[in-house]
Amino acid sequence: MRRARVVYSGSYHHVTNRGLEGKRIFLGDKSKSYFLNLLNEKSKKLKIRLLGYCVMDNHYHLILQNSSGKLSEFMRQLNGHYGIIYRKKEGKKGYVFQGRYKSTLIQEGPYLRMSIIYILLNPVKAGLVESPYDYKWSSIGEYFVDSKKSIVDKVFVEDIFQSRSVFDELIVEWSGKDLPVKRTRFGPIIGGEDFKEEAIKKYDRRKSNNESKRMRKQDYVFNPADAVIEEFEKNKGLKLKKINVNTLKGKRLRSELLVLLKDKTGLTYKEIIGYPIFRSLKYSSLGHLYQRAKSRME
């Protein structure tokens, strides 16, 4: 009998899976590149926020946020579609991955930072490179650079670390260390005791509501952006075009709308900045505005 996992909308996870019997499943650059293309495609399609990745020869690591509540479907499609191509290319049958993927629940803040750093150091730990920056098949080269070519939510991650210097300091600090994983009755977690208790409560509440086998419908479906904006205008008693973003009140209303659009509709920052009320902002500033507004609203 499979153990139920604690998975809820907005939760962070360290996800990993390896080849059956530890065998190589990423046989070269082409297969790794294909897997990353799939990862990019599926994360955008199912609106799963990807924060970091590292693809090795016989396994992979992902740090992601279950931003749409569709983590299980995302993993099913990612592993399933890669497995089809692998079997076709190698002329093999049967399983490609060693069973069900492993998922560790992560508390945001310092624990999320250390989890991202940990997976990026995986090639160093394996003796493949001396510096994680020398490894081609991880997301380390996508942070704190001007290039817009990225499959991770780099703005979100950069906001977590605040600066390249802090990021590099943690790379040095965490070299050779393991994650402080705690074992619980519902699976592993990375976090403090308060987070452990909070996660257990969420697990028990869902189970008591007979939702352990089927997540609530709203966990799977985003709201249409137009509906979110209409509700926002109704609650505030004014239209977006009437908001003066040159005033403190107007800026706060705009930031509040940013949070609602990001959380309730699953829109990317690139899509959000297309709305007139956000066009005067820099794309690179949206992540910082989101975090500050989110903290204020909570």
Q: What pLDDT shows up at residue 144?
A: 93
In the sheet where 49-55 sits, what is the strand order? Answer: 49-55, 59-65, 12-18, 102-106, 187-190, 182-184
- Report the SS3 class of residue 248: helix
d(CA 49, CA 267): 11
Instruction: Please tell me the predicted confidence (pLDDT) of residue 34.
Output: 94
Are the C-beta atoms of 285 and 255 separated by less than 8 Å? no
What pLDDT digit, counting tens, does each position of 7-33 carry?
777 889 999 999 888 888 898 899 999
Half-sphere exposure in the Cβ direction for 20 (13 Å, CA): 11
Q: Which domains does the chain have, with CATH numbers?
A: 12-194 (3.30.70.1290), 222-297 (no CATH)
3-state SS class at 89: helix
Q: Is the pLDDT of residue 132 over 60?
A: yes
| pLDDT tens-digit series, residues 77-124 | 999 989 888 887 776 666 788 778 899 999 988 999 999 999 999 999
Reported as a pLDDT band with limits 50, 70 and 90, residue 298 is low
Enter the tokens of residue 86.
């692998």
Q: ∠252-256-259 over CA atoms, to 5°? A: 140
Mean pLDDT of 126-148: 93
**Structure pTM?**
0.69
Lowest mean pLDDT among 57-71, 149-163, 204-218, 259-273: 204-218
Mean pLDDT of 286-297: 86
Cβ-based neighbour number of residue 271 at 10 Å = 14
Q: Above 70 in pLDDT, residue 217?
A: no
Q: What percent of the chain has pLDDT over 70?
A: 88
pLDDT score at 115:
96
Distance CA 265, CA 131 (A): 38
Q: Do residues 83 and 96 touch, judged by C-beta distance below 8 A?
A: yes
- Long-range contact list for 278-286, CB < 8 A, 24+ apart? 278/254, 280/245, 283/155, 284/155, 286/155, 286/258
The three-class DSSP label of residue 295 is helix
